[in-house]
A and B are shown apart, each in its own frame.
Chain A
Amino acid sequence: MVRARTKFIIGGVLVLGTAGYLMASSIGQTAMYYLTPGELAAKVKDDSTFFDTGVKMGARVVPGTITREPGGRAVSFSVTDGSQTIPVTYRGVIPDTFTDSVDVVVEGRYNKNGQFVATTLLAKCASRYENAPDKYQSTPGYKASKGPAA
């Protein structure tokens, strides 16, 4: 007669094993590199399979590069991390917080024409919850600037 404790442990290992297997297999399927434009450029230089592979890229929108298509559903812009600038095109819901100089996370593929085709766009704006008080020093008399001071 196997002790209940042993049986329980076998059951527990089965449950956790399944969970572990699911974790391992789905990480393989859904994991994505999170890169900056500079890192992405370096990766594709070393290894051309990084073209047209799904990646996430975090960077800042270059002011003045945003061109919205009429209707507010498609947009093209450039992002930079200071070392490398990459043009991005995106079609889909544009978040309220998307504007010049915000930090964005785009998910999509970088193609051989040097264009990043994004399928999701997340704008994370530092000023959204945390206003940069530096704004005051840079704009005496206070006039609200569009978008956060970099």
Chain B
Amino acid sequence: MILLGELSLWVALLMAAWSATTSFAGGRIARTDLIASGERAMYATFAFVVLASVGLWTALLTSDFSLRFVASYTSANLPAVYKFAAFWGGQAGSMLFWCLILALYSAITLFANRRRNRELMPYVTGTLALVLVFFLATTVFRANPYARLDWVPPDGTGLNPQLQNPGMAIHPPNLYLGYVATSVPFAFAIAALVTRRLDAEWLGAVRRWSLVSWLFLTIGITLGMWWAYVELGWGGYWAWDPVENASLLPWLTGTAFLHSIMIQEKRGMLRKWNVTLVVATFLLSILGTFITRSGVIESVHSFAQSPIGNWFAAFLVLSIVTTAFLVATRLKDLEARAELESMVSREAAFLYNNVVLVGIAFSVLWGTLFPIISEAVRGSKITVGPPFFNTVNIPLGLLLLGLTGVGPLIAWRRASVPNLKRQFAAPVSGGLILGAALFALGMRDGYALVSYTLAGFVATTIGQEFVKGVGARRRMHGEAVPIALLRLIARNRRRYGGYIVHFGVVVLFAAFAGLAFKKEYDLSLAPGESFSAVDPYNRTWTFTSQGVSRYEELNRQVVAVALDAKRAGAAPTLIKSEKRQHVDSRGNPSFEPSTEVGILESLRQDVYLVLHGVTGEGTAEIRITFNPLVWWVWYGGIIMALGGLIVMWPQATRAGANRRAEGGYVVVMQPTERPHVDAAV
């Protein structure tokens, strides 16, 4: 099986190369036999990449330590689930994993479009095949998971204990699923450019793929934050580390695209811009993989300096040059079909949303690449830290949050003043009341107050939209509230799913603003000793050390401290934090010790305990952090993902609506038409 897998990898590379060649040639000279051959070769590529992956999984699960990869990332005593997850724990395996997902997506794309978009498909297949060729070639020649050691070690070095966490088992696949899904819109964009078929048809085909990518990136980023928070023990979830930024960048441009695509569908505007966003999102995904994998930028994630860097750089440059050439030669075909009519219109709100999202993406990219840029320009590496990202992105983020509320309230094309007054009255009051209430309760942090005021505004906007929609259904169909609500969402998935995503964003911002009130205490506690601390809600906690215990578990030695946490008006609880020394199957210590944090979770705040070390007779050196509203980050992420799922879910009812949603539609509203009072989608 393992030998078969290794061979399959080579065959897959040849098949992908064949598919790229015949697809492009077939499309160019319009020969259906070549096009068909290219598509069949793509399916074959998929089959062989699956074989190659099954081969590697077999090697991992049967602990075949003759493979360098298996020996490097697993050990005999590793739980099976982590042997399975070790596939994406190391460089070579994650490259193969990229290929596996891309081949899968390509096969799905080909199958879904076997009767649709036939003029585009040869180039779509060809582009996907080319990307596959690149990734397969990098895997085969630069990071081959089937590389062998010249002797067989009795045991492997094991998987890093920090990666032995359920979050880590599913976080990378989600990110990869998100990254790779940007390839399909990219392939369609290239195909549309090559064939000059730049109307809404290609957009219809890529909208769902962009959503797939957005959904998986959202889940992946949220899981990454959760993993960093519970596993790394520094009390935060986002550090503006290059690898984190890398995953945020395609998410930002992808989000911008999902908004601007609506303007092209409705108004035929932003055609160049949409092509640019699709291509940028793909390139940023590749850049993300490159940053994560090459070690060109100093990062705590610090994957080994690796030989794949140059290949990626070359691929990036080649992609940029090709797309720039295609766009430049097709500017005429990309002219807008309509013009912005008023600043007070939904188009304008969406455009600003795009400006802000791309602005954030640019500042994050700039900050991330600054060490490289400064080294090239001034000869010395200069790094920027979290203060840079916060200074720039907090104001931009708040502006974005405000736009989230404004967008749905104003009509397409041109809003009328009475309409604006009616629409904005409740949300503005809602926001101001929340802000004033928090101020009265003693909140004095400027940014936090602005955040909560805006959050209140957006939340009321969303509430108002749902109330109006449900009310309309009740009047028209006489339905009960819950049924009206469900049908409302089910019949307008894009619109109301989108609102649910926005509500997730509100929850996230509320959580981020909570960070302003974080409190941290470093202390040492002997057994029986107590410490009192005041939390951000002005409540007093007393922590009493229950002493330190030492014991052994299956694959680790543990030193643990337990604290009794008491607060007036709450039942006392125990929090425990551990230092773990992992051992291999022979009892030798493996890896550096790791910390297991203790978290007392609640809706209001987390009490977060980290054991630094133990001195003398059981005196624990610890850090206690009060982290307000951290839970809201996870829930915000979950709500966003749910909203995304609703938007994506195929509308199975009326065939007409189906065609419209899938084919993409351009309604170029005539300027003579009266402005819409209520911008129903």
Residue ranges of A at the interface with B (Cβ–Cβ < 8 Å): 4-5, 7-8, 11-12, 15-16, 18-19, 22-23, 25-27, 29-35, 39, 56, 58, 70-73, 93-94, 96-99, 103, 105, 122, 124-133, 135-136, 141-144, 146-147
B645 contacts the other chain (Cβ, under 8 Å)? no
CB-defined contacts of B362 to chain A, threshold 8 Å: 19
Decide if B388 touches A129 in the complex (CB within 8 Å): no
Pull 15 A–B residue pairs with CB atoms less than 8 Å apart, ordered by A.
Answer: A8-B340, A15-B352, A15-B356, A19-B396, A22-B392, A25-B391, A30-B387, A71-B613, A71-B619, A93-B623, A128-B160, A128-B162, A132-B304, A133-B72, A143-B588
- With A27-B384, A98-B592: A136-B392 Cβ-Cβ less than 8 Å: no
Across the two chains, which residue of chain B brings its CB closest to A147?
A: B592
Tell me the minimal C-beta distance from A103 to chain B in angstroms: 7
Known: A30-B388, A126-B304. 7 other contacts (CB 8 A): A15-B356, A26-B388, A73-B522, A94-B612, A131-B157, A135-B157, A136-B153
User: What is the bound-complex CA distance between A133 and B155, given in angstroms?
Assistant: 12
Give chain B interface residues in 328-382, CB to chain A under 8 Å.
339-343, 345, 348, 351-352, 355-356, 359, 362-363, 366-367, 370-371, 374, 380-382
CB-defined contacts of B317 to chain A, threshold 8 Å: none
Tell me the minimal C-beta distance from A46 to chain B in angstroms: 12
Decide if B300 touches A124 in the complex (CB within 8 Å): yes
Decide if B303 touches A27 in the complex (CB within 8 Å): no
CB-defined contacts of A93 to chain B, threshold 8 Å: 234, 610, 612, 623
Decide if A70 touches B616 in the complex (CB within 8 Å): yes
Decide if B300 touches A122 in the complex (CB within 8 Å): yes
Decide if A35 touches B381 in the complex (CB within 8 Å): yes
Tell me the minimal C-beta distance from A113 to chain B in angstroms: 24
CB-defined contacts of A23 to chain B, threshold 8 Å: 363, 366-367, 388, 392
User: What is the bound-complex CA distance between A11 and B356, given in angstroms?
Assistant: 11
Decide if A4 touches B157 in the complex (CB within 8 Å): no
CB-defined contacts of B355 to chain A, threshold 8 Å: 12, 15-16
CB-defined contacts of A16 to chain B, threshold 8 Å: 355, 359
Nearest first, the 3 closest Cβ-Cβ pairs linking A and B are A72-B613, A124-B302, A34-B381
CB-defined contacts of B612 to chain A, threshold 8 Å: 71-73, 93-94
Tell me the minimal C-beta distance from B175 to chain A in angstroms: 15
Q: Is the interface of B mostly helix, strand, loop or mixed?
A: mixed
Decide if A103 touches B71 in the complex (CB within 8 Å): no
- With A19-B359, A32-B382, A56-B383: A133-B343 Cβ-Cβ less than 8 Å: no
CB-defined contacts of A27 to chain B, threshold 8 Å: 370, 384, 388
B423 contacts the other chain (Cβ, under 8 Å)? no
B385 contacts the other chain (Cβ, under 8 Å)? yes
Decide if A97 touches B592 in the complex (CB within 8 Å): yes
Tell me the minimal C-beta distance from B85 to chain A in angstroms: 13
Decide if B300 touches A31 in the complex (CB within 8 Å): no
Total contacts A-B at CB 8 Å: 170
Give chain B interface residues in 602-638, CB to chain A under 8 Å.
610, 612-616, 619, 621, 623
A136: which of B151, B371, B595 is its contact (CB, 8 Å)?
Answer: B151
B157: which of A7, A15, A105, A144 is its contact (CB, 8 Å)?
Answer: A144
CB-defined contacts of A12 to chain B, threshold 8 Å: 351-352, 355
Decide if B382 touches A34 in the complex (CB within 8 Å): yes
- The contact size tier of chain B is 35 or more
Tell me the minimal C-beta distance from A78 to chain B in angstroms: 19
Across the two chains, which residue of chain B brings its CB closest to A107?
A: B385
Across the two chains, which residue of chain A brings its CB closest to B72?
A: A131
User: What is the bound-complex CA distance between A73 and B610, given in angstroms?
Assistant: 12
Tell me the minimal C-beta distance from B460 to chain A in angstroms: 24
Tell me the minimal C-beta distance from A75 to chain B in angstroms: 11
B407 contacts the other chain (Cβ, under 8 Å)? no
Give chain B interface residues in 461-506, CB to chain A under 8 Å.
none
Decide if A130 touches B72 in the complex (CB within 8 Å): yes
Give chain B interface residues in 264-304, CB to chain A under 8 Å.
298-304
B122 contacts the other chain (Cβ, under 8 Å)? no
Decide if B387 touches A8 in the complex (CB within 8 Å): no
B163 contacts the other chain (Cβ, under 8 Å)? yes
- With A23-B392, A34-B383: A71-B615 Cβ-Cβ less than 8 Å: yes
Across the two chains, which residue of chain B brings its CB closest to A144?
A: B588
CB-defined contacts of A143 to chain B, threshold 8 Å: 588
CB-defined contacts of B366 to chain A, threshold 8 Å: 23
B594: which of A5, A26, A96, A133 is its contact (CB, 8 Å)?
Answer: A96
A4: which of B68, B301, B304, B343 is its contact (CB, 8 Å)?
Answer: B343
Q: B511-525 interface mask toward A, CB cutoff 8 Å, 1 = contact, 0 = none?
A: 000000000001010
Decide if B154 touches A133 in the complex (CB within 8 Å): no
Tell me the minimal C-beta distance from B251 to chain A in angstroms: 18
User: What is the bound-complex CA distance between A27 and B371, given in angstroms?
Assistant: 12
CB-defined contacts of A72 to chain B, threshold 8 Å: 612-615, 621
Across the two chains, which residue of chain A brings its CB closest to B363?
A: A23
Decide if A133 touches B396 in the complex (CB within 8 Å): no
CB-defined contacts of A15 to chain B, threshold 8 Å: 352, 355-356, 359, 396, 399
B39 contacts the other chain (Cβ, under 8 Å)? no
Decide if B298 touches A142 in the complex (CB within 8 Å): no
Tell me the minimal C-beta distance from A28 to chain B in angstroms: 10
Decide if A99 touches B584 in the complex (CB within 8 Å): no
CB-defined contacts of B595 to chain A, threshold 8 Å: 96
B91 contacts the other chain (Cβ, under 8 Å)? yes
CB-defined contacts of B590 to chain A, threshold 8 Å: 144
User: What is the bound-complex CA distance between A4 and B339, given in angstroms?
Assistant: 9
Decide if B153 touches A142 in the complex (CB within 8 Å): yes
CB-defined contacts of B391 to chain A, threshold 8 Å: 22, 25-26, 29-30
Decide if B153 touches A130 in the complex (CB within 8 Å): no
B5 contacts the other chain (Cβ, under 8 Å)? no
User: What is the bound-complex CA distance between A60 and B342, given in angstroms?
Assistant: 59
User: What is the bound-complex CA distance between A32 and B301, given in angstroms?
Assistant: 20
Across the two chains, which residue of chain A brings its CB closest to B584?
A: A144
CB-defined contacts of A70 to chain B, threshold 8 Å: 615-616
Decide if A129 touches B89 in the complex (CB within 8 Å): yes
Give chain B interface residues in 153-212, CB to chain A under 8 Å.
153-155, 157, 160, 162-163
Across the two chains, which residue of chain B brings its CB closest to A69?
A: B615
B105 contacts the other chain (Cβ, under 8 Å)? no
User: What is the bound-complex CA distance between A97 and B160, given in angstroms?
Assistant: 11
Across the two chains, which residue of chain B brings its CB closest to A19?
A: B359
